[in-house]
Amino acid sequence: MSFVKLSVPAIAIAAASATAAAARDNVQVAGSSTVLPYASIVAEAFGENFDFPTPVVESGGSSAGLKRFCEGVGENTIDIANSSRQIKDSEIEACAENGVTDIIEVRVGYDGIVFASDINGNAYEFTPSDWFLALSDKVLVDGQLVDNPNNTWADVNPDFPAIDIQAFVPGTKHGTREVFEDKVILAGCEETGAFEAFKAVNGDDKKAAEKACISLRTDGKSVDIDGDYTETLARIESNKDGIGVFGLAFYENNTDKLQVATMSGVVPSTETIASGEYPVSRPLFFYVKKAHIGVIPGLKEYAEFFVADEVAGPDGPLAEYGLVADPELSETQQVVADEATMDSNS
Amino acid sequence: MTDISHQSAPQSRHAGSLLQKDSRTVRRNRAEARFKIYGIFAIAVGMLMLAVLVYNIVTRGVGAYSQTFITLDVELLESKLDKNGNRNLEEIKKVTTFGYAPLIKNAFEKKVEELGIKTPLKPKDQAAILSKSAEAQLRDFVIANPDKIGETIEFRFLANSRVDGYMKGRVTRESIANDKSISVEQLDLVDQLHKAGVLNKTFNIDFITGADASDQRPEAAGMGVSMIGSLFMMLVVLALALPIGVAASIYLEEFAPRNWLTDIIEVNISNLAAVPSIVFGILGLAVFINYMHLPMSAPLVGGLVLTLMTLPTIIISTRASLKSVPPSIRDAALGVGASKMQAVFHHVLPLAAPGILTGTIIGLAQALGETAPLLLIGMVGFIASNAPDSIASGLLSPNSAMPAQIYEWAKRADPAFYERAWGGIIILLVFLVTMNTVAVILRRRFERRW
């Protein structure tokens, strides 16, 4: 039959091209969905201005990206992991086990985490304590640690309306979650004095107390969002009383649907984050496999282009999109130029 | 026969008039009428759902097919683009897109002055209503035509997504109250430019032919390159799944002995058809990328994964259509001395071909809309490659696929991408409807019934 005759060369072509697939000529990036928009802006401009192909940028969360990053060295692994938090020691160890030893850490700038509710809903002025009292598993009542009894925001803080607590926080695979825990929940834990109580219960163990602080309630008041911010936004649109955790850039693109809450009296903006007034911000990173530099064409050029003044600087396109430029950008540029790896002892 | 029923009828039933129905008949008729109503209701619900779906998709997606453009005369200043004046392409390429921004700013300022529009905005903020893709468009033009440096050329630039949203009614003066990307003054300027005929909304072919764009310029994003990615994947699926599937089903149906081994194979093929597609994605990652070292994000790998997914569909439909060819045809062929293979290939297969084709097309349509397995092999993400220039690069260089592109857009922050996601769905649906229609037509025209 004719299709048999036709399909034989087709299979031959497929097989031949498969063997020719030895060299990858594009940079492959994966990781944080917070860094994704910035990385895609850079990748696009990189493809336009250089003779290299446009890098491929996937998302999936910081932890997922770093896990893929640490799978090994070679063309079938990614070259760069985007991350909205610093790489953990355990991840560095996992990397080393798979032969990924020389890692270049590049800090691209800062990003704010904002709390936002529906545009027509109630306006909030939060402090970290409010969030701890609203979402923690156990809180301090009359000097006793009890299961969180707060059902409405008015229970948390009499200034707030009696609206049921409904918070959409990033899932654990997101780097944003960690910053939320560190800068908001843990801070609130310490402010309310629950930290000391946890410490006493756990026999002065600081680590255990921190862990107890950041364990969130599981009765449905706090919902983990494993997807992207669009999912959080969709949840808020369907549940007007909900409050979500977003990246600053995402909020700034959706100001017609969301209103932002202040944190400790400060309105989040690139200015207040740069000055350090707004407390909930975190650095954004990407990690480069040094072993791939020179093997994958354009990898070093991409990294250098990402942190160039005209891209990541205060007047560059990234800052325009919502990134808070790093005042120490020139040092980062030096790190990339020197291909200086992280301290391998750490 | 009629006599018997005529005689036995009065015995088994109560005697009654044919005109006056007894209560049992009335009940049965009522039950039938009720069932008909249920049926019509079920169909009505289905149609209503479909209508709501199509209405939603079309109303939300149709905006992506028109786009706001601004026409400007840009002077390609030699002092900016080619300082040495020797038209050396390598030197011209050294000027990045950032170097083109002043040219556009000047052109914009000039245009506003020429039209006599008064605006309190600074030139930089005026030019901000243009898309970020304008610089790239200009640079591409200069690199393609270095001899045009020094001349003034008319360009049609995209307006940025907020301006475009304003023209489409998605963005209003109220909704931008907290928006830092655009101001009321800029919208005033947009209105005036629109009145002067410089800024216009027209059909946007780039949405159908273009590549993906970054989060900063949703207005420039298009489906074209991901369509090519889907096309190459479908070619791989067709080239592999059709011969393998048909060969396997011919052997199983016509040649294989009936024993426990073929029974097990049969059960497993049916099971395979029910395996969730994400499983094939994990398999593809493990086998094709990690073990066989095929490139990530390549349509070849996507095609291989989708082949695995489509094979059972094709095998099952091929076997069904082979089974529907009456045995008398085989027997007749064998009776006049044909070998078994001749009987199958000369007589059975041509008669089964319409069914096989229909099954294949439906399998392809299913594969075309699949996203989950692509997630794991790196085909979902920001993949803004150019259209491939050869078959090999089409198969091997990174590309996305239509459903993956839609998913990617639906995730992005800027609401303009949301509109494009719906617009992409329209294209995907057009493909699916076309494929299914072709399948129906083929079946109607060539299928023979016995």
Domain co-membership, A40 together with A76: yes
In a domain, A95, yes or no: yes
Predicted confidence band at A342 (pLDDT cuts at 50, 70, 90)?
A: confident
**Highest mean pLDDT of the ranges A19-23, B51-55, B391-395:** B51-55
- Mean pLDDT across B352-381: 90
**End residue of a domain, out of A248, A265, A281:** A281
**Residue A344 above 60 pLDDT?**
no
The tokens describing A126, both together, are 């939060």
Q: Is A281 left (phi over 0), alpha (psi -120 to 50) or beta?
A: beta
Q: Is the Cβ of B382 closer than 8 Å to some Cβ of chain A?
A: yes
Predicted confidence band at B1 (pLDDT cuts at 50, 70, 90)?
A: very low
- CA torsion sign for B172, B175, B179, B184 is positive
**Residue B418 above 50 pLDDT?**
yes
Whole-number average pLDDT of chain A: 86
The pLDDT score that the predictor gives to residue A17 is 46
In a domain, A343, yes or no: no
Structural domain boundaries, residue A241? 112-281
The pLDDT score that the predictor gives to residue A23 is 65
- Mean pLDDT across A65-92: 90
- Chain B contacts of A48, Cβ < 8 Å? 97, 136, 139-140
- Mean pLDDT across B304-322: 93
Q: Is the Cβ of B96 closer than 8 Å to some Cβ of chain A?
A: yes
**Residue A213 above 90 pLDDT?**
no
The pLDDT score that the predictor gives to residue B450 is 67
Domain co-membership, A72 together with A198: no
The residue of chain A with its CA nearest to that of B161 is A253
The tokens describing B376, both together, are 């794991």
Among B180, B295, B412, the residue with its CB nearest the CB of A252 is B180
Domain co-membership, A152 together with A118: yes
In a domain, A148, yes or no: yes
DSSP symbol at A296: B
The residue of chain A with its CA nearest to that of B238 is A7
Domain co-membership, A138 together with A255: yes
A240: closest CA among A166, A307, A187, A300? A166
- Mean pLDDT across B308-324: 93
Check: CB of residue A235 under 8 Å from CB of residue A168: yes
**Residue B334 above 90 pLDDT?**
yes
In a domain, A17, yes or no: no
**Residue A105 above 50 pLDDT?**
yes
A26 and B176 within 8 Å at the Cβ level: the answer is no
| pLDDT tens digits, one per residue of A31-44 | 988 899 999 999 99
The more confident residue out of B16 and B433 is B433
Domain co-membership, A318 together with A250: no
B411 and A227 within 8 Å at the Cβ level: the answer is yes
The pLDDT score that the predictor gives to residue B9 is 47
- Chain A contacts of B180, Cβ < 8 Å? 252, 255
Domain co-membership, A128 together with A258: yes
Check: CB of residue B307 under 8 Å from CB of residue B240: yes
State the number of CA atoms in the 13 A half-sphere of B204 facing the CB. Answer: 28
Please report, rounded to a whole number, the percentage of residues in chain B having pLDDT higher than 70: 96
Domain co-membership, A130 together with A203: yes
The pLDDT score that the predictor gives to residue B364 is 93
> Which of 349-368 (B) contact A at CB < 8 A?
349
> Which of 190-249 (A) contact B at CB < 8 A?
227-230, 249
Predicted confidence band at B337 (pLDDT cuts at 50, 70, 90)?
A: very high
**End residue of a domain, out of A235, A266, A281:** A281
| pLDDT tens digits, one per residue of A139-156 | 888 878 888 888 889 888
B382 and A21 within 8 Å at the Cβ level: the answer is no
Predicted confidence band at B16 (pLDDT cuts at 50, 70, 90)?
A: low
The pLDDT score that the predictor gives to residue B128 is 87
How far is A112 from A270, CA to CA, in rounded Å? 8
- CA torsion sign for B303, B309, B310, B314 is positive
Domain co-membership, A153 together with A169: yes
- Mean pLDDT across B421-443: 92
The pLDDT score that the predictor gives to residue A290 is 92
The pLDDT score that the predictor gives to residue B14 is 57
A253 and B295 within 8 Å at the Cβ level: the answer is no
In a domain, A152, yes or no: yes
Question: Over the range B419-433, which residues count as b (16 or more CB within 10 Å of their CB) and which as e?
Answer: bbbbbbbbbbbebbe
CATH of the domain at A220: 3.40.190.10
- Mean pLDDT across B291-301: 88
- Chain A contacts of B395, Cβ < 8 Å? 14, 17
**End residue of a domain, out of A262, A281, A300:** A281
- Chain B contacts of A33, Cβ < 8 Å? 411
- Mean pLDDT across B64-69: 92
A17 and B181 within 8 Å at the Cβ level: the answer is no
Domain co-membership, A102 together with A127: no
- Mean pLDDT across A195-203: 84
Check: CB of residue B361 under 8 Å from CB of residue A39: no
- Mean pLDDT across B297-319: 93
Pick the range with the lowest mean pLDDT from A96-105, A116-125, A334-343, B12-21: B12-21
The pLDDT score that the predictor gives to residue A345 is 40
Domain co-membership, A49 together with A179: no
Q: How distant is the Cα of A196 from the closest Cα of chain B, in angstroms? A: 40
- Mean pLDDT across B341-365: 92
Phi, psi of A203 (to 5 degrees): 65, 50
How far is A126 from A180, CA to CA, in rounded Å? 13
**Residue B406 above 90 pLDDT?**
yes
Domain co-membership, A259 together with A182: yes
DSSP symbol at B377: T
- Chain A contacts of B413, Cβ < 8 Å? 37, 229-230, 249-250, 253-254
The more confident residue out of B89 and A308 is A308
Predicted confidence band at B15 (pLDDT cuts at 50, 70, 90)?
A: low
**Residue A132 above 60 pLDDT?**
yes
Q: Is the Cβ of B139 closer than 8 Å to some Cβ of chain A?
A: yes
A4: closest CA among B250, B83, B99? B250
In a domain, A14, yes or no: no
Pick the range with the lowest mean pLDDT from A8-17, B94-103, B195-204, B334-343: A8-17
Residue range(s) of every CATH 1.10.3720.10 domain in chain B:
224-446
In a domain, A12, yes or no: no
Q: Is the Cβ of A4 closer than 8 Å to some Cβ of chain B?
A: yes
**Residue B331 above 90 pLDDT?**
yes
ipTM over 0.95: no
**Residue B8 above 60 pLDDT?**
no
- Chain A contacts of B411, Cβ < 8 Å? 33, 59, 227-228, 230
Class of domain B224-446: mainly alpha
Structural domain tally of chain A?
2
In a domain, A245, yes or no: yes
Q: Is the Cβ of A272 closer than 8 Å to some Cβ of chain B?
A: no
B383 and A255 within 8 Å at the Cβ level: the answer is no
Domain co-membership, A217 together with A91: no
Check: CB of residue A317 under 8 Å from CB of residue A311: yes
Q: Is the Cβ of B175 closer than 8 Å to some Cβ of chain A?
A: yes
B411 and A57 within 8 Å at the Cβ level: the answer is no
- Chain B contacts of A57, Cβ < 8 Å? 381-383
Among B96, B138, B141, B215, which would you mutate to test the A interface (most chain A Cβ atoms within 10 Å of its Cβ)?
A: B215
Predicted confidence band at A1 (pLDDT cuts at 50, 70, 90)?
A: very low
Q: Which residue is listed with tokens 């200034």?
A: A159
- CA torsion sign for A194, A195, A198, A203 is negative
- Mean pLDDT across B259-287: 90
The pLDDT score that the predictor gives to residue A212 is 86
How far is B294 from B377, CA to CA, in rounded Å? 10
- CA torsion sign for B159, B163, B167, B170 is positive
Whole-number average pLDDT of chain B: 88
**Residue A5 above 60 pLDDT?**
no
Q: Is the Cβ of B98 closer than 8 Å to some Cβ of chain A?
A: yes
Check: CB of residue B386 under 8 Å from CB of residue B413: no
Give how far Cα B157 sits from Cα of A307, B213, B316, Å: 28, 15, 52
Among B93, B290, B395, the residue with its CB nearest the CB of A17 is B395
